Amino acid sequence: MKILALSGSPRKNGNTDRYLEIVLEECRAQGAETELIRVCDLSVHGCRGCYGCVNAKACVHQDDFQLVFSKIMKADVLVLGSPVYHSSITPELKAVLDRTGFCGRWAVSEMKAKEGAYEFNASILSGKIVAPVTVARRAGQNFAFAQLLLWAACNDCLIVNNTYWNVGVAGKGGAKDAAEDEEGVTTMKNLAKRIIYTANKLNA
């Protein structure tokens, strides 16, 4: 199985990257193929709401989004990670998710007249497994975590369960100290096990 982690952190090798690597390390140990993409290292602009993807069946604006989107389409599992900035995921990660969700829906759907009602049957993301991960110094986890959950639910993805929310507490004074949150580390390792379990069940 292919597992793709998207890190929304602008800090290379920061706490978000570390928690995602813990998940990927555990998944690799169980035979999965993994990759981590740091979206802040790329040039991906936010969705312009131009509806060009309705006819093109793909995003018509050319930047690094096409690279990320192609990898998302090939992945069986998406692990979405972000630090919490003012109770939200980072704008870089949101840009990727907005464009993925929007063009992913129109890739398999037709636009209707204003008077018509939609009965969406699928998204190009349908059936993909998604696991959200957020990291905060203290508060704001719930809002950011909910953003990722709502995105997955709206795009017909399967959300992995766990024994606790997939959150880490780190970063006092800007420290890169994710490993010191023992409960957070254990939660990430448990998440990896549940990702593999879920994927194996679906492919059985």
Express as a percent the part of the chain with pLDDT over 90.
88
**CA angle (93, 97, 101) in 5-degree steps:** 175
Helix residue ranges, H only, the chain: 15-29, 52-56, 65-74, 91-106, 141-154, 182-203
CATH at 60: 3.40.50.360
* Residue 57 pLDDT level (bands cut at 50, 70, 90): very high
Total number of domains in the chain: 1
Q: Average per-residue pLDDT in the chain?
A: 94
CA angle 139, 141, 146 (to 5 degrees): 145
* Structure tokens that stand for 197 in this block: 């379990």
Range(s) of the domain holding residue 124: 2-203
* φ, ψ at 16 (rounded to 5°): -65, -45
Q: Are 23 and 191 in contact (CB under 8 A)?
A: yes
C-alpha 6/C-alpha 97 separation (Å) is: 10
* Percent of the chain's residues with pLDDT above 70: 100
pLDDT in tens, 119-133: 777 889 999 999 999
pTM for this structure? 0.95
**Distance of alpha carbon 130 from alpha carbon 6, whole angstroms:** 11
**How far is residue 49 CA from its own chain's centroid?**
21
Q: Which residues are paired to 2 by β-bridges? A: 33
Q: Which residues contact 117 (CB under 8 A, 6 or more apart)?
A: none
CB proximity list for 180: less than 8 A, separation 6 or greater: 170
